[in-house]
Amino acid sequence: MPIGRRYRQADGLLNQTNQEVRMGGVDVGTGGGKRALNKEINMIPFIDFLLVTVAFLLITAVWINFSRMEVDARQPGATTGPVNPGEVSKDLHIHAREADFALTWKQGSTIISETRVPRPEMSPGEQPQYQDLADKIAEEWTRHGGHQDPSDRHRDRCVLHTDNAMPFGEVVAVMDAIYEAKRDSRLDDGKLQKVPAFVMAFASR
């Protein structure tokens, strides 16, 4: 085979290989005798970007489900009509005020007990912590809680009354204090497990 023909065949194979590895291109035309403006686009970075975006969205969705708080936003109000006292549960109402926390046990519209816990002053930038409030809540549940039997799967309800202007960090600190109150719960296999004594509801004013 002549050497020139071999060169032409090798050059043809090289051009075919270059066309196969092209990921994409833009043809803007070459009319008018101007220089060609055809550009090749490398699609690999674009595909990598899409994969990273999809992975970020999936991970974000999972963490949103993990961080979701299960709370009951219904505020128990005054009951109307004839009520059987044995059917009305006792709820602990915590009113977050500027100077203190007011802890009130109510059964329907009847106040059973009321106590106050001084609200400590916080320095600017200090992480809020209400250990005195947590201790008092646990003490009040031991005294007035209606679901203390380990075989009882129900839990008492705590309604947190806050102002809309209350900083989020302080709201979280009060929630932590509420959840520090623990009770024993009997599992299906007979073992005891510590669980929060309250389920929470919010009432904003």
- Examine the domain organization and report whether 113 and 182 are in the same domain: yes
Amino acid at 147: H
Please report whether residue 13 resides in a domain: no
- Domain containing 49: what range? 23-65
Measured at the alpha carbon of residue 174, what is the angle toward residues 66 and 116, in degrees to the nearest 5? 155
Please report whether residue 108 resides in a domain: yes
- Examine the domain organization and report whether 93 and 136 are in the same domain: yes
| Residue 56 main-chain phi, psi, to 5 deg | -65, -45
The count of structural domains within the chain is 2
pLDDT tens-digit profile of 99-148?
899 999 999 888 999 999 999 888 777 888 899 999 999 999 999 988 88
| Residue 110 main-chain phi, psi, to 5 deg | -95, 125
Please report whether residue 38 resides in a domain: yes
Query: Reduced to 3 states, what is the DSSP secondary structure of residue 15?
Result: helix
Please report whether residue 71 resides in a domain: no
pLDDT tens-digit profile of 17-54?
444 444 445 555 555 555 655 667 778 888 999 999 99
Separation of CA 72 from chain center: 15
- Examine the domain organization and report whether 102 and 196 are in the same domain: yes
pLDDT tens-digit profile of 148-165?
898 988 899 999 999 888
Please report whether residue 50 resides in a domain: yes
